[in-house]
Every structure is written in C-alpha cells, then in structure tokens.
Amino acid sequence: MKRTVYAPEHEAFRETIRTFIAKQVTPNYPEWENANQVPRELFNQLAELGATSFDIPEEFGGAGPTSFKFQAVIQEETARAAVSFGHYGVSIGIVLPYLLRLADDEQKQRWLPRIASGELMVGVMVTEPDYGSDVAGVKVTATPTDGGYRINGVKTWATFAGRADVLMLLARTDPDRSAGHRGLSLFVVDKEPAPGHDFSFTQDGGGKMEGRAIDTLGYRGMHSYEVAFDDWLVPEENLVGGDAGLGKGFYLQMEGFENGRLQTAARAVGLMQAAYEAGASYARERTVFGKPVGDYQLSRAKLARIGGTGHGAAQALSWRMRATHLTGGEPWLMTDSRWRR
C-alpha cells in the first residue's frame, strides 16, 4: 500500500537507516542480544547519522526543530528488522522533550550538546516496585539538604541505567503526600557508566546507589535495572528547571510518555510490515498441490488484508495519534508546524 504520510526526505532517511541496520546492526545483533546490551559505539554511529540531535536547537549542537516522522522511521525500521537501538527511543523521544521544555540555559548548555553528539547516555527512572501506571503515586523522595537534595527509595525497570552517564529521575519533593502528582519534580542524577549487570557507588558524604539488571524475555538490548538510592546527594543545579521546576515533574513526564506511546505505535507498524514481507515471500516460495501458496485466491486475499487494510489502518492510527498529540486533542486541526514538515 502506498504510504502518504512520509515525504521524500523521510524516505531518504529510511534508506540510510535501513542500510545502517543491515550493515552495522543485524550481523552483530545475536551477540548484543546474548549480552542483553548494545555497544556504546552504536550511539556515536547514530550521532553521525544525525539521529541524536533531533529537535535540539542549533546553538546547543543540534539540528533544530525536526519532524517526529524521522523518529517514527527509526522505530519502524528497527522493528521491521527485529532489532533495537537499546535505550535510544527513551533518550531522544522521552527525556529530550523535558530538557527542551524546562531546563534553563545553563542546564541546556551542560546536557544538550553531549546528547546531540551521542556522548551522554541517559536513563529514565519513573517506575517503582509498587508504582507503574500510577505515576502520580511514586514515593522515592528528594529531600532538601545543604547544596542539593538527598534521594531515598527504589526505582525499577530503568532501562540502560547501568551504562548511563546520567539518570533522569522523577522524585517526590513535596513531603505532603496529599499533593499527589503536584508534588513531583525531575532530577538529573550523575553517575559513572557501569558496563556489567550490576553496580554499586558510594559518595563521600555516605550516599549509596546500587543497581542490578533485570533479565528480560523479549526486547533485549534494553538492559533494564532495579536501582536503590540511600541518601544519594544530587546537587541543586541538577533539579531540572531549577526552583521553577519544583512540582512540574509529573506533567513533563506525561508529555515524554506520549512520545513513547507514539514510538510504540510506529514499532507496531514496522512489525506488521515485517510480517507482511515474510508472509509474501513464503507465499511466493512455498509450493502446494503444484503451485505457489500465493497463487491461491484465499492466500492473496489474506496478504492483501495484512498489507493493505491492517497496515494502512495502523499507519493511519499512529498518525492520527500524532496529530492528536500535537494539537492537544483535535486531530483535524493539525496546526503544529512539526506535523506539517
């Protein structure tokens, strides 16, 4: 089915990504899957392709405003090839929007150029053992102290937390739990990258951070961790947005998650494409009762349904979601210039 949502520049980028995956990722992927992590160099290579600088202003080393369609192309192509770029989608799709929205200029200067160059690996920490979907309930605390905040509690499913240079952490800054979602703020937690499956760090003042990887059944290469914080000190300049960021964490987190959901929709489209291509190829090659499976009317109808209706519907759904996201719930408006590009 002819796809109409992508312009020639998106399709050219798709070719680049498809070739990159075929040459640099697919041949190495079994090894990465076994290790349950992707190599750090992958991010330098993605930076060379321009894939880590989307939406980052040029003054901070990025490409400036960029259509979300380039990110969707990456998600479709990695899913189509049954590979992942590790935490790439989290870092660019989920974390970047908060920094762009709320970080002050000094913070942007500190973090954005290093994200654009593929140098800074970012993990995101929202989920806790007792709080997943219910983000407003999270209970890890950030308590003010001399020069910063002390972090206490446990986060889980933090993808890439071992390799990450920084962890974007959602914590409760308002001690009054009845403040609910209004009591949450975002912090950038610096740490040393740890290449293995567990890590343990201590600070001079007695703070501790300990993590261990969770073995996953599918979607490997993400390398997700459970991490316990015990009086871990985060300097006050790492509160995203400074004092203006106090209590804004939930809202920014939810905005970031919207991109994450759209990435998932794009991955579903890529998987469907792969299933269709595998089915069509099998139907051409497999012969039954003297002719290829694909010569039978029912096989053709099924393939047409997957290739046309199913795929088209998924594409339409994902782009309708995107339009809804950009226009605050009114897909027909499509006023956001990012959608038009």
Taking the least distance from each CB to ligand FAD, the nearer of 32 and 339 is 32
Provide the minimum distance between the beta carbon of 222 and ligand FAD in the complex, in angstroms, as a whole number: 5
Q: Does 36 bind ligand FAD (CB under 6 A)?
A: no
Phi then psi for 287, rounded to 5 degrees?
A: -105, 130
Which residue in the shown chain puts its C-beta closest to ligand FAD? 132
Cα angle 64, 70, 76 (rounded to 5 degrees) comes to: 160
Q: Does 125 bind ligand FAD (CB under 6 A)?
A: yes
The neighbouring-strand residues paired with 148 are 145, 235
Q: Which of 32, 43, 70, 157 binds ligand FAD (CB under 6 A)?
A: 157
**Alpha-carbon span 114 to 99, nearest angstrom:** 13
Q: Does 159 bind ligand FAD (CB under 6 A)?
A: yes
Instruction: Check if the beta carbon of residue 152 is closer than 8 Å to that of residue 208.
Output: no
Phi then psi for 62, rounded to 5 degrees?
A: -105, -170
- What 3 state SS string does 42-64 have? HHHHHHHCCCCCCCCCHHHCCCC
Which of these ranges, 35-43, 78-86, 121-129, 327-335, lies near ligand FAD under the rule CB under 6 A? 121-129
Q: Does 227 bind ligand FAD (CB under 6 A)?
A: no
Provide the minimum distance between the beta carbon of 206 and ligand FAD in the complex, in angstroms, as a whole number: 26
Site string for ligand FAD, 58-97 (x = CB under 6 A): --------------------------------x-------
Contacts of 29 (CB under 8 A, 6+ apart): 83, 221
Taking the least distance from each CB to ligand FAD, the nearer of 234 and 293 is 234
Q: Does 326 bind ligand FAD (CB under 6 A)?
A: no
Which of these ranges, 73-81, 109-117, 219-227, 282-290, lies near ligand FAD under the rule CB under 6 A? 219-227
Q: Which of 109, 216, 264, 327 binds ligand FAD (CB under 6 A)?
A: 216
Q: Does 133 bind ligand FAD (CB under 6 A)?
A: yes
Provide the minimum distance between the beta carbon of 314 and ligand FAD in the complex, in angstroms, as a whole number: 20
Which of these ranges, 6-14, 154-162, 290-298, 304-312, lies near ligand FAD under the rule CB under 6 A? 154-162
Instruction: Check if the beta carbon of residue 143 is closer than 8 Å to that of residue 215.
Output: no
Taking the least distance from each CB to ligand FAD, the nearer of 56 and 158 is 158
Taking the least distance from each CB to ligand FAD, the nearer of 201 and 219 is 219
- Dihedral (CA of 112, 115, 121, 123) sign: positive
Contacts of 84 (CB under 8 A, 6+ apart): 38, 78, 219, 220, 221, 222
Q: Does 115 bind ligand FAD (CB under 6 A)?
A: no
Q: Does 238 bind ligand FAD (CB under 6 A)?
A: no
Provide the minimum distance between the beta carbon of 1 and ligand FAD in the complex, in angstroms, as a whole number: 31
Q: Does 224 bind ligand FAD (CB under 6 A)?
A: yes
Q: Which of 171, 165, 235, 236 is nearest to 201 (CA)?
A: 165
The neighbouring-strand residues paired with 122 are 166
How does DSSP assign 51-99, residue by residue? TT-TT--GGGTS--S--HHHHHHHHHHHHHTT---TTHHIIIIIIHHHH
Residue ranges in contact with ligand FAD by CB under 6 A: 90, 124-127, 132-134, 157-159, 216, 219, 222, 224
